[in-house]
Structure 1
Amino acid sequence: MLVKEKIVIGISGVTNAGKTSLSLRLQKALPNCKVIHQDDFFKPPEEVVVDSNGFYQYDVITALNMDAMMNVVNAWIKDPSGFKELPSESHITSQPLQYDPDAPHILLIEGFLMYTYRPLLNVFDLRYLLTVPFDEAKRRRSTRVYCPEDPPGYFEGHVWPMYLEHKEEIRSLGVDIAYGPVPVRGPGGWRPLL
């Protein structure tokens, strides 16, 4: 069986769908695994557009410093085994919890706006999209504290509509949300990753 030396997996979806939780659990379970969180690349509030309703436009790609994110992703792609977190880059989680010299290096990139940004889209070996219904996403979001905090109507008036728009753009671009086995070595030999 052909085993890749590096695997880059995208985990995207609506706000509060469980992207970070899933990524961190996978990191604990998989050898040689690092996680990059797209949320770590938001621009400061003063650089984010505010719409006519007073809503910060955080759910658009221009609210993120994607150049900085791509620099981190490309550094990992160039040398995953030697990739170290730089003091100025707090975007990467701690070192892999498990190391296996015979297993591939895995990079999980999780975030909500990844599958329409071409430079990032082109690095993924696998892409997953997590979904939850409107009511559940709204309930989960209401339990979180954001800075700046969500004004009344922000979820219904901006967050959810932008998610639906992004999801439709993924469909219209024909982005392949791949589901399939990726071999990794674990107890008992090689097995599918997901």
Structure 2
Amino acid sequence: MKVLVIGLGGVTNGGKTTLAEKLKDMLPNCDIISQDDFFKPESEVETDERGFKLYDVLDALYMDEMVTSIRNWMKSPASSGVVTEEPENTCDNLKNVYILIVEGFLLYNYEPLNELWNRRYFLTLPYEECKRRRSTRVYQPADTPGYFDGHVWPMYLKYKNELEENTSMQVDYLDGTKSQEELLSYLYSDIIQELNKLREENQQVTS
């Protein structure tokens, strides 16, 4: 049994969740873990001097629990409830390969996670488009006036700059203004290449 752990990170409202769900339907033995499921309750999230709840930082998340959940999945993916019906064109050598897509906005700035990824993708958006998309979403708690400019966007830039400065980390940056179809096609093809590498490794081991 082999596992492939895919990170699908990046900007808020970049399309991460939608892409992850569509990829799950297209790929064999695929499951999703969402970083949003690890937010601390509102009462445990810090508030700054402006009254902004600081949700877009690592301290707002139970990151250790997230790492544990991913590691547990990697140990026993078949028992995680993952649907194991493969597409018809799935190669026999890939039947025992399990794929985990982890989607979230802060995936690559927490060191214990960085040893787990097989591939890292990072969706980007320009400021105006990101703000426009954010304004169409309803959050609990709701965004307060000035929250995007005062907290969300600055934190996105901060963590993105950290990634770009870390030249030892391989990250595939994706333009979130492209159509879902184009992004999905690219991601699917790239992940299939990773699966084929695993297939070749399996063949070398068994030959």
TM range (shorter): 0.7 to 0.9
Query: Of residues 105, 109, 112 in structure 1, which corresponds to 2:105?
Result: 112
TM-score, reference length from structure 2: 0.78
Sequence identity percentage: 47
Match of 2:150 in 1: 157
Comparing both structures, which one devotes a greater share of its residues to helix? 2
* Residue identity opposite 1:96 in structure 2: V
Distance 1:15 1:160 in 2: 9
Is 1:62 the counterpart of 2:39? The answer is: no
Is 1:166 the counterpart of 2:159? The answer is: yes
- Is the contact between residue 28 and residue 97 of structure 1 (CA under 8 Å) also seen in structure 2? no
What is the CA-CA distance between 1:183 and the residue it aligns to?
2.6
Distance 1:184 1:30 in 2: 13
- Is the contact between residue 27 and residue 96 of structure 1 (CA under 8 Å) also seen in structure 2? no
What is the CA-CA distance between 1:131 and the residue it aligns to?
0.7
1:127–1:183 distance in 2 versus 1, CA, 3 Å:
same
Q: Which moved more, 1:162-171 or 1:100-109?
A: 100-109
* Residue identity opposite 1:65 in structure 2: Y
What is the CA-CA distance between 1:82 and the residue it aligns to?
2.5
Match of 1:40 in 2: 37
- Is the contact between residue 122 and residue 172 of structure 2 (CA under 8 Å) also seen in structure 1? no
Question: Residues 121-132 of structure 1 correspond to what in structure 2 (within 5 A)?
Answer: 121-132=114-125
Q: RMSD over aligned Cα, in angstroms?
A: 2.2
Query: Of residues 161, 182, 189 in structure 1, which corresponds to 2:194?
Result: 182
Unaligned runs of 5+ in 1: 85-94
Distance 1:32 1:182 in 2: 14
Distance 2:125 2:28 in 1: 29
Is 1:51 the counterpart of 2:61? The answer is: no
Distance 2:7 2:195 in 1: 16
Question: Residues 135-154 of structure 1 correspond to what in structure 2 (within 5 A)?
Answer: 135-154=128-147
1:79–1:167 distance in 2 versus 1, CA, 3 Å:
same
TM-score, reference length from structure 1: 0.83
What is the CA-CA distance between 1:97 and the residue it aligns to?
6.6
- Is the contact between residue 33 and residue 102 of structure 2 (CA under 8 Å) also seen in structure 1? yes
SS of 1:12 mapped into structure 2:
strand
What is the CA-CA distance between 1:176 and the residue it aligns to?
1.3
Distance 1:150 1:97 in 2: 39
Unaligned runs of 5+ in 2: 174-189, 201-207
- Is the contact between residue 28 and residue 85 of structure 2 (CA under 8 Å) also seen in structure 1? yes
